[in-house]
């Protein structure tokens, strides 16, 4: 049986709230804000290295996640570097980045990585939500939520309640797959 207590290492309030909303009833989710390095590379490798770094600092069952926002017209960039683009440009600047392109398609990717302890295997699980980049709508409370409109919804993530977002989001899909994996072991 898998242990029921897990430490989610993240300093991001939006992520913490969504993880708690999905996993809260099933696990004793403890959050620790440790400033981990922002690694470079492919999405899976980044999550794996982040988990390895977190497990050096936290004992036991530990989980991290790394989020990417990939623009189709830009070959998947900014991808894992979205944090810095968002910081400098804001949601409206992200929308303007695509002004020269007809293709506004994008995907949000959540890579969760967990290990049952330091030195033990690390599992990476991803969830993807396809959508498009739009001129920002809705409250500017979490990251790029105001400029990302998931396919066939007509609403940006920012215009949804946390419950609505958690039905379709990249993070909820990764968490559903993670739960399934954990329950099998
Ligand atoms: O609108 C959003 N809806 C989301 O669902 C979402 N998930 C992440 N983000 C943002 O994308 C960047 C990822 O960088 P990131 O994965 O390194 O996160 P972080 O450094 O903030 O936290 P952490 O690394 O401590 O967990 C950061 O700017 C996050 O704020 C989101 N924005
Ligand atoms: Mg980070």
Q: What is the pLDDT of residues 43-77, one digit of tens each?
A: 999 999 999 999 999 999 999 999 999 999 999 99
Q: For residue 24, report the phi and psi dihedrals to the nearest 5 degrees.
A: -50, -40
Of 22, 38, 57, 143, best ligand 1 pocket probe by most atoms within 8 Å of the beta carbon: 143
Return the pLDDT at 91: 98
| Helix residue ranges per DSSP H, 24-145 | 43-57, 82-97
CA distance linking residue 3 with residue 17, whole number of Å? 21
Q: Which tops the pLDDT comparison, 73 or 141?
A: 73
Return the pLDDT at 177: 95
pTM of the prediction?
A: 0.96
Ligand 1 center from residue 83 Cα (angstroms): 6
**161 neighbors 172 (Cβ within 8 angstroms):** no
Ligand 2 center from residue 114 Cα (angstroms): 15
CA distance linking residue 125 with residue 173, whole number of Å? 9
The pocket around ligand 1, CB under 6 angstroms, is made up of 10-12, 14-15, 38, 65-67, 82-83, 86, 142-145, 157, 171
pLDDT band at 1 (very low <50, low <70, confident <90, very high): very low
Within 8 A by CB and 6+ apart from 144, the residues are 69, 82, 86, 91, 94
Over residues 127-144, mean pLDDT: 97
Return the pLDDT at 93: 98
Q: Which ligand is in closest contact with the Cα of 47? A: 1
Return the pLDDT at 22: 85
CA dihedral 12, 18, 22, 27 (to 10 degrees): 30
């Amino acid at each position: 049986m898998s242990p029921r207590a897990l430490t989610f290492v993240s300093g991001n309030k939006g992520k913490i709230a969504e993880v708690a909303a999905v996993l809260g009833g099933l696990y004793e989710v403890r959050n620790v804000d440790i400033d981990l390095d922002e690694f470079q590379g492919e999405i899976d490798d980044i999550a794996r290295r982040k988990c390895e770094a977190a497990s050096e600092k936290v004992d036991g069952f530990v989980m991290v996640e790394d989020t990417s926002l990939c623009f189709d017209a830009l070959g998947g960039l900014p991808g894992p570097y979205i944090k810095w683009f968002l910081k400098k440009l804001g949601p409206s600047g992200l929308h303007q980045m695509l002004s020269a392109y007809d293709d506004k398609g994008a995907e949000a990717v959540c890579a969760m990585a967990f290990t049952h302890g330091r030195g033990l295997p690390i599992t990476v699980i991803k969830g993807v939500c396809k959508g498009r980049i739009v001129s920002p709508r809705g409250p500017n409370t979490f990251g790029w939520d105001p400029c990302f409109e998931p396919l066939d919804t007509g609403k940006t993530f920012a215009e949804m309640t946390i419950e609505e977002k958690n039905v379709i989001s990249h993070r909820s899909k990764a968490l559903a797959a993670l739960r399934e994996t954990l329950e099998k072991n």
